[in-house]
Amino acid sequence: MCDGDPISPAAAKSRDKPWFGGREFVIIGHRGVAAHAPENTLRGAERALEMRVDAIEVDVRKSRDGFVLMHDSTVDRTTNGHGRVSSMSLSELRALDAGNGERVPRVDEFLEVIPPPTVANLELKVAEAAACLEGLKFDTRRLLVSSFHRAALASASRYETGARLALAIDRWSPETLVDFDQVELHFICMDHRAVTSRIVTQVRGAGLELLAYTVNSASRARQLREMEVLGVFTDDPVSVSHRACTLI
C-alpha cells in the first residue's frame, strides 16, 4: 500500500455511462491530443474538441506558486527550458515555449476552454496537485480527477467538489481496492495491454467502470469495447474515432 488515507469504491452505485452524455463507448483525448498538437497545451485541447472527443485528459503539477499542465517533473522534454516544475514560478513557466509557440497553461485556463458536455480529466501527478481543485470555477459534474497516487485522490476527495475520481494503475490485482473505504471511486484507468475480459468483469463487479490507456489502434479499441471497457484514452482521435470503433 502507498502512504496516505485509505480509499474505496462505493458499494452498488449506478453505472457512469450517462455521465459521458450517454455514450456506450467513450473517446478521451490523451494529454490534449498528443499526436496532433503539443501535449498539455491549450492548442491541444482545442484540437481535441475539433475531433469531437468525449473527454480531454491533461496532467497537473504544482509549480512554486500555482498549478500547471505538465506531465514530467521537469520541463526539459516538452519545452525549450530546463529545470524542475516544482521549483519554477508561474511567470518562469509561462515564458517557456511548450511547442509551436504554445505556452504552459494554468489549470484554470485549460478548464475555461472546455465547453459542455465535454468532460475534463485532470490527472494529478503529485499529491500536492490536488489543491488545484480549491475554488475551481468549473462545472464539476463534468470533472474527472485521476491519479496513480492514492494520497492524491485522498486529498482530492476532501475538497468535496462533486468530481468523479479514478485510480490509475498499470495492472489489476485482487489487492487493488483493499482498504479503499473512505473515498468514493468511480473509475479504474488501466494500461490497455494488461486488460482482459476477466479483469473488466472484476472491475465492474466492484461497482466501477474501466477506462483503458493509451490506445492508438482502432482494432484494439474495438477489442476493448467488446470486453465492455467503457472507453479509451488516445493520442489520435482521428484513427481511434467513434466511427472507427463502432462494432460491426
The residue-averaged pLDDT of 5-16 equals: 51
The residue-averaged pLDDT of 32-59 equals: 98
**Which pLDDT score, from 0 to 100, does residue 21 have?**
82
The residue-averaged pLDDT of 213-229 equals: 97
Q: Structural domain of residue 77, as residue ranges?
A: 8-245
DSSP-derived pairing of the beta strands 143-147 and 119-124? parallel
pLDDT at 34 over 80: yes
How many distinct structural domains can be found in the chain?
A: 1
Read off the CATH number of the domain in which 106 is found.
Answer: 3.20.20.190
In a domain, 3, yes or no: no
In a domain, 127, yes or no: yes
The residue-averaged pLDDT of 148-152 equals: 94
CA distance 134 to 140: 12
CA distance 182 to 101: 43
Tell me if 227 sits within 8 A of 192, measured CB to CB: no
Per-residue model confidence as pLDDT tens digits over 66-93: 999 999 999 999 999 999 999 999 999 9
**Which pLDDT score, from 0 to 100, does residue 118 have?**
97
Percent of the chain having pLDDT more than 90? 82
In a domain, 2, yes or no: no
pLDDT at 51 over 80: yes
In a domain, 1, yes or no: no
Per-residue model confidence as pLDDT tens digits over 118-148: 999 999 999 999 999 999 999 999 999 999 9
Res. 163 pLDDT band, cuts 50 70 90: very high
pLDDT at 170 over 70: yes
Residue from 168, 125, 160 nearest 143 by CA: 160
Tell me if 13 sits within 8 A of 228, measured CB to CB: no
CA distance 37 to 15: 33
pLDDT at 15 over 70: no
**Which pLDDT score, from 0 to 100, does residue 161 have?**
82
Quote the distance between the C-alpha of residue 30 and its chain's center. 8
Alpha-helix residue ranges (DSSP H) falling in the chain: 42-50, 90-94, 107-112, 150-157, 197-205, 218-226, 242-245
In a domain, 12, yes or no: yes
Residue from 168, 174, 155, 157 nearest 62 by CA: 155
In a domain, 204, yes or no: yes
DSSP result, 166-217: EEEESS--TTTTTT--SSEE-EEEEEGGG--HHHHHHHHHTT-EEEEE----
DSSP result, 128-168: GGGGGGTT--S-GGGEEEEES-HHHHHHHHTT----EEEEE
DSSP result, 224-241: HHHTT--EEEES-TTTS-
**Which pLDDT score, from 0 to 100, does residue 247 have?**
61
pLDDT at 2 over 60: no
- Centre a 10 Å sphere on the Cβ of residue 40 and count the other Cβ atoms it contains: 28
In a domain, 103, yes or no: yes
In a domain, 22, yes or no: yes
In the DSSP assignment, the letter for residue 89 is -
Res. 206 pLDDT band, cuts 50 70 90: very high
**Cell, residue 133:** 481543485
pLDDT at 13 over 80: no
Q: Share the mean pLDDT of the chain.
A: 92
